[in-house]
Amino acid sequence: MRRGLMQWDPEELPVAVLETRIAGLRAAMQGAGLDAFILYTNLVRPSAVAYLTGFTPYWSEGLLLVPAAGRLVFATALSNRVADWIRATNPVSEVISTPRPGKLLGERLAGDAAVKRVGILELDAMPSELACDLAGAAPAIAWIDGSAPFAGIRRRIDAAEGRLLTHADALAVAALDQRATTSDAGTLAGLVEQHARLAGAEEIYVALAPDLAADRRLNRVSKPVTLADRFAVRASLAYKGSWVRRTRTFAPDGAVAEADEWFAGVVRGIEVGTPIASWLAQNITSLPGATLEGWMVERCVGSYPLAVTASSRSPGDDAPTDGGFLVLAVELRLDGAPWIGSAPVFVGTPHF
């Protein structure tokens, strides 16, 4: 549950930026023949609504209606008292508190004779009660999956998002520097989390592989566990709705410095249009004694903060696009020992 700093700052995220994003979605709607668009949000699937409004729910859920013109409507089962807080963090929507958000928005749509086709982001995954209420209130409307047009407007990030992501990454980097003072994994997780939250992180998930040589899988730590010589820590961190992931491997005597440096170079050098699989294959030869065990690319293309779009198991279309943002995770075996890392990547020429 969200419990870090949740605040809308008009200098960080001006209303004009949100209006430009909304206009982008409306253009995509027009291209897809959609008369309106509906987006679902909860704290696990916050990113599409946050992109358009700046708002993330700390609890519960809601639906955002983007009509073809006019003010957006955010309907939520959160109570009227919480609606004041939502208005303070969501400057572009009418906010309505109702026990049946689907029914309310369905009735609104049904009341507009011009609305025939409505796009829904991630239609198949819409919670059934909301979907049923929408359909029940507006039986004549055709509901269309709007995931592709929405992903289209998320191919490039704007300057405001770039700055928020940069700040989120700075918090993650600083938080992961807290490792030196303890040999207990739970205490280390607490230190990393404390540092990030004190610095204003909205959320952070800390995961560790306490003995990387024994098991490369990372998990949150909920009992005392002694850290081995070689361990890894992952910080998945949000600042004002913008998410990054950073993973670092720690080992004594600078044993991972060369891999760290190699990975930083790989990230810096990622080029528009060059598939990640090719780029890594091309670069791994420059790290003596290393073999590439796996990789993964995550992007924000829908309601999830980060979702896997390509990996060594399923490369797909992994060529980075200009102005895009992604998180690259890599697993290596280096002179027989494991190394894992992940970092955010701004693709092409940053315009912020």
**How many CB atoms within 10 Å of residue 211?**
17
- Is residue 42 a contact partner of residue 57, using CB atoms and an 8 Å limit? yes
Q: Which of 68, 174, 207, 213 binds other proteins (CB under 8 A)?
A: 207
Other C-beta atoms closer than 10 Å to the C-beta of 31 total 10
Three-state SS sequence of 64-91: EEEECCCCEEEEECCCHHHHHHHHHHCC
For the chain, state the CA radius of gyration. Answer: 22
Rounded to a whole number of angstroms, the minimum distance from the CB of residue 237 to other proteins is 13
Q: How many of the other CB atoms lie within 10 Å of CB of 165? A: 22
* Angstrom distance (rounded) from CA 175 to CA 203: 12
Window of 117-125, 151-159, 162-170, 276-284 that interacts with other proteins by CB under 8 A: 117-125
Binding to other proteins in span 31-50, by CB under 8 A? 42-45
Task: Report the residue from 70, 113, 114, 223 that binds other proteins according to the rule CB under 8 A.
Answer: 223
Residue 10 makes contact with other proteins by CB under 8 A: no
Stretch that binds other proteins, among 68-76, 163-171, 213-221, 252-260 (CB under 8 A): 213-221
Choice from 19, 71, 84, 286 touching other proteins (CB under 8 A): 84
CA distances from 345 to 245, 267, 350 (A): 10, 6, 10
**At its nearest, how many Å lie between other proteins and the CB of residue 76?**
13
Least distance from C-beta 210 to other proteins, angstroms? 11
By CB under 8 A, name the binding residues for other proteins. 1-7, 42-45, 58-61, 79-82, 84-85, 88-89, 123-132, 184, 186-187, 189-191, 193-194, 197-198, 200, 205-207, 215, 217-224, 236, 296, 304-305, 307-308, 311, 314
